[in-house]
Amino acid sequence: MKCTILGAGSPTYQLPYTKNTHLPAYLLEDGEDCILFECTENMVTRLSEISVPLSRLSTVAITHVHLDHFQLPALVLSLFCTKIAGGQISDILTVYAPQEVIRAYYAIMDLQVPDRKGRGFEYPQITFVPVSDSNNRTGSLTLMSKPVYHGNGAVESVAYRVEKQGKIVAYSGDCGMCEGIKTIARDADLFLCDSSVQIGDFSSSSKYGHFNPFEVGIVCKEAGVKRVVLVHYAGYDLPEAMITECKRSGFTGEVICGQDYMTYEV
């Protein structure tokens, strides 16, 4: 499996320690199988940057409804317009998402495309698969989801785990300390983990629901993670300081501060 970071950042720009990274998005490829985790701004452009044609994009997995993770209607519009202009897309798009995301999608489409109210676009044909505590198959990959704590507990949010032949890639979405994230991260070969809170701030994990780098290390140490990539960071701290802080937890695996367009093989 190959994982490419299409967006390692958060909705903060021009802060001292961020390079204006894109909003969260991660592409997992394995042969013919391809999953896009999160769907945010300029998605088509970012896929083009890594030479992934729209015809390959047939599966999307979204963690929660917040705007820095969920801008699916814009992608669907791009796919529809590409198709009617003669371009190539996958005619079927399967979207794994919490029910809250699915409801929001239809509400947004009705508001922003009133001339098509109740009909949506002919292309692509979208199949929504509601997820919570779920196990699904997409091609040769097993896709697990678990509920995680975020948004003061008021947001329906999940983390994802992909398995194939004993190899594991896990993605936290946005979350604080909870049993769900420990299960998702268990024995992961590669763990993409939210680390958006400033070093030394231990208030968010149990309140709003975000990790600082030290807390990421605690999860990784307990779960037996082999390699963690710190993502969704806001630019409060130097990348080197974030890595050091994560290791200070006692986690002895590999720690990387993610950057846009980095790739990792599992």
Q: What is the CATH number of the domain that holds 143?
A: 3.60.15.10
Question: How remote is the C-alpha of 65 from its chain's centroid?
Answer: 12
- What mean pLDDT, rounded, does the chain reach? 95
Q: Position of tokens 């093989």?
A: 265
Residue 116, pLDDT > 90, answer no
> The domain containing residue 41 runs over which residues?
2-265
Q: What is the pLDDT of residues 52-65, one digit of tens each?
A: 999 999 999 999 99
Contact 198, 171 (CB under 8 A): no
Question: How remote is the C-alpha of 38 from its chain's centroid?
Answer: 4
Residue 16, pLDDT > 90, answer no
Q: What is the pLDDT of residues 40-55, one digit of tens each?
A: 999 999 999 999 999 9
Q: Which two tokens stand for residue 213?
A: 């780098």
Number of domains observed in the structure of the chain: 1
DSSP letter assigned to residue 154: T
Residue 115, pLDDT > 80, answer yes
How long, in residues, is the chain? 266
- Who contacts 122 (Cβ-Cβ below 8 Å, separation ≥6)? 80
pTM: 0.96
In percent, how much of the chain has pLDDT > 90? 89
